[in-house]
A and B are shown apart, each in its own frame.
Chain A
Amino acid sequence: MPSADRIFFGGTVITMEQGQPRAEAVAVAAGRILAVGTRAEIEGHATARTERVDLAGAALLPGFVEAHSHPLMSAMAWGDPVVDVRAVHTPTYAAVLEKMRRRMAKAKPGEVIWFLGLDPQLHAGMEEPPREVLDAIAPDHAIAVQTINFHAVFLNSKALEVFGIGTGYTLPLGGQVVAAADGKPWKFQETAAWQLCNRFYKLLGEQRKVRSFDDWVAKFVRAGYTTTSEIMIEPGASPLLQAVVKNRRNPLRIVGYEGVHRGGEVTVARDNGDDDFRVIGTKLHADGSVLLGNVWSTHPYLNNAMTLKGMGLPENSTGHASLTPQKTDELVLKYVREGWQMSVHAHGDRTIDMVLDAYEKAIAETPGVNGPLRIEHCGMMREDQIDRAIRLGVVCSYFLPYIYHWGEALRDHLLGEEAAARFVPAGSAIRKGMRASFHCDSPMTWPNALVCLSVAVTRRTLKGAVIGPEQRVGIHEALKAITIDAAHQLRMEDRVGSIAPGKYADFVILGQDPTTCDPERLLSIPVKGTVLAGVDTASFFDVARGEADAG
Chain B
Amino acid sequence: MTTIPATIICGFLGAGKSTLLNRVLREPGDERLGVLVNDFGAINIDKDLVKVEANGQVELTNGCVCCSIQDDLASGLVMLARRAPPFTRVILECSGVSHPAGVLGVFDQPAVSAHFHVDGVFCLIDCASFDDLDFQSGELAIDQAAYADVVLLNKADLVGAATVAQVGRTLRGAQPFMRQVTAAHADVPLDVLFGPRPMAPERPMPVDRAGADHGELYSAFAYAWDRPLAVSDFARLSAALPTGVIRAKGILNVADPASGESRRGIFHLVGKRSSLTLQPGPAPAVSQLVMIGRKGAIDEQSLARALVCCPGVRAVTPHRHAHDHQPI
The residues of A with any CB-CB pair to B shorter than 8 Å are: 80, 89-92, 94-95, 98-99, 101-103, 106, 524, 526, 547-548, 550
A-B contacts, 16 of them at CB < 8 A, read A89-B143, A89-B146, A92-B176, A94-B176, A95-B176, A98-B170, A98-B174, A101-B173, A106-B134, A106-B135, A524-B108, A524-B109, A524-B110, A526-B109, A548-B99, A548-B101
Give the residue name and chain of the A residue nearest to B105 (CB).
Answer: A548
With a cutoff of 8 Å between Cβ atoms, the chain A residues found around residue B99 in the complex are 547-548, 550
* Among all A-B residue pairs, the 10 with the closest Cβ atoms: A548-B102, A98-B173, A106-B135, A548-B101, A548-B99, A550-B101, A95-B174, A103-B135, A547-B99, A89-B143
With a cutoff of 8 Å between Cβ atoms, the chain A residues found around residue B174 in the complex are 90, 95, 98-99
Contact status A102-B143, CB under 8 Å: no
With a cutoff of 8 Å between Cβ atoms, the chain A residues found around residue B108 in the complex are 524
B274 within 8 A of A: no
A59 to chain B, nearest CB (A): 15
- Interchain CA distance A110-B110 in the complex, whole Å: 50
- Interchain CA distance A222-B139 in the complex, whole Å: 24
Contact status A102-B170, CB under 8 Å: yes
With a cutoff of 8 Å between Cβ atoms, the chain B residues found around residue A103 in the complex are 135
- Interchain CA distance A80-B176 in the complex, whole Å: 26
- Interchain CA distance A548-B108 in the complex, whole Å: 14
B138: which of A102, A524, A526, A547 is its contact (CB, 8 Å)?
A102
Contact status A102-B146, CB under 8 Å: no
With a cutoff of 8 Å between Cβ atoms, the chain B residues found around residue A106 in the complex are 134-135, 138
Contact status A80-B105, CB under 8 Å: no
Give the residue name and chain of the A residue nearest to B138 (CB).
Answer: A102
- Interchain CA distance A550-B101 in the complex, whole Å: 7
Give the residue name and chain of the A residue nearest to B146 (CB).
Answer: A89
A324 to chain B, nearest CB (A): 44
With a cutoff of 8 Å between Cβ atoms, the chain B residues found around residue A101 in the complex are 173
- Interchain CA distance A92-B108 in the complex, whole Å: 26
- Interchain CA distance A472-B290 in the complex, whole Å: 47
Contact status B105-A102, CB under 8 Å: no
With a cutoff of 8 Å between Cβ atoms, the chain A residues found around residue B175 in the complex are 91, 95
9 further interface pairs, Cβ-Cβ under 8 Å (given A90-B174, A106-B138, A524-B108): A89-B146, A92-B176, A94-B176, A95-B175, A106-B134, A547-B99, A547-B102, A548-B99, A550-B99
Contact status A102-B176, CB under 8 Å: no
A393 to chain B, nearest CB (A): 42
Interface centre among A89, A103, A526 (most CB of B within 10 A): A89
B250 to chain A, nearest CB (A): 26
- Interchain CA distance A70-B110 in the complex, whole Å: 33
With a cutoff of 8 Å between Cβ atoms, the chain A residues found around residue B55 in the complex are none
Interface centre among B139, B146, B170 (most CB of A within 10 A): B139
Give the residue name and chain of the A residue nearest to B143 (CB).
Answer: A89
Contact status B135-A102, CB under 8 Å: yes
- Interchain CA distance A95-B173 in the complex, whole Å: 6
- Interchain CA distance A92-B175 in the complex, whole Å: 9
B136 within 8 A of A: yes
- Interchain CA distance A101-B174 in the complex, whole Å: 11
With a cutoff of 8 Å between Cβ atoms, the chain B residues found around residue A89 in the complex are 143, 146
Give the residue name and chain of the B residue nearest to A512 (CB).
Answer: B110
- Interchain CA distance A548-B101 in the complex, whole Å: 7
Contact status A102-B110, CB under 8 Å: no
- Interchain CA distance A149-B91 in the complex, whole Å: 40
Binary flags per residue of B104-145, CB closer than 8 Å to A gives 1, else 0: 010011100000000000000000000000111011000100
- Interchain CA distance A329-B138 in the complex, whole Å: 51
With a cutoff of 8 Å between Cβ atoms, the chain A residues found around residue B176 in the complex are 92, 94-95
Give the residue name and chain of the A residue nearest to B98 (CB).
Answer: A548
Binary flags per residue of B167-204, CB closer than 8 Å to A gives 1, else 0: 00010011110000000000000000000000000000
A223 to chain B, nearest CB (A): 14
Interface centre among B134, B135, B173 (most CB of A within 10 A): B135
With a cutoff of 8 Å between Cβ atoms, the chain B residues found around residue A91 in the complex are 175
With a cutoff of 8 Å between Cβ atoms, the chain A residues found around residue B173 in the complex are 94-95, 98-99, 101-102
Contact status B139-A102, CB under 8 Å: yes
With a cutoff of 8 Å between Cβ atoms, the chain A residues found around residue B110 in the complex are 524
With a cutoff of 8 Å between Cβ atoms, the chain B residues found around residue A98 in the complex are 170, 173-174
A213 to chain B, nearest CB (A): 20
B2 to chain A, nearest CB (A): 22
A413 to chain B, nearest CB (A): 21
Interface centre among B102, B138, B174, B176 (most CB of A within 10 A): B174
- Interchain CA distance A95-B142 in the complex, whole Å: 12
With a cutoff of 8 Å between Cβ atoms, the chain A residues found around residue B143 in the complex are 89
With a cutoff of 8 Å between Cβ atoms, the chain B residues found around residue A102 in the complex are 135, 138-139, 170, 173
- Interchain CA distance A9-B306 in the complex, whole Å: 61
With a cutoff of 8 Å between Cβ atoms, the chain B residues found around residue A94 in the complex are 173, 176
A542 to chain B, nearest CB (A): 15
With a cutoff of 8 Å between Cβ atoms, the chain B residues found around residue A548 in the complex are 99, 101-102, 105
Give the residue name and chain of the A residue nearest to B177 (CB).
Answer: A91
Contact status B101-A80, CB under 8 Å: no
B136: which of A80, A95, A524, A526 is its contact (CB, 8 Å)?
A80
Give the residue name and chain of the A residue nearest to B134 (CB).
Answer: A106
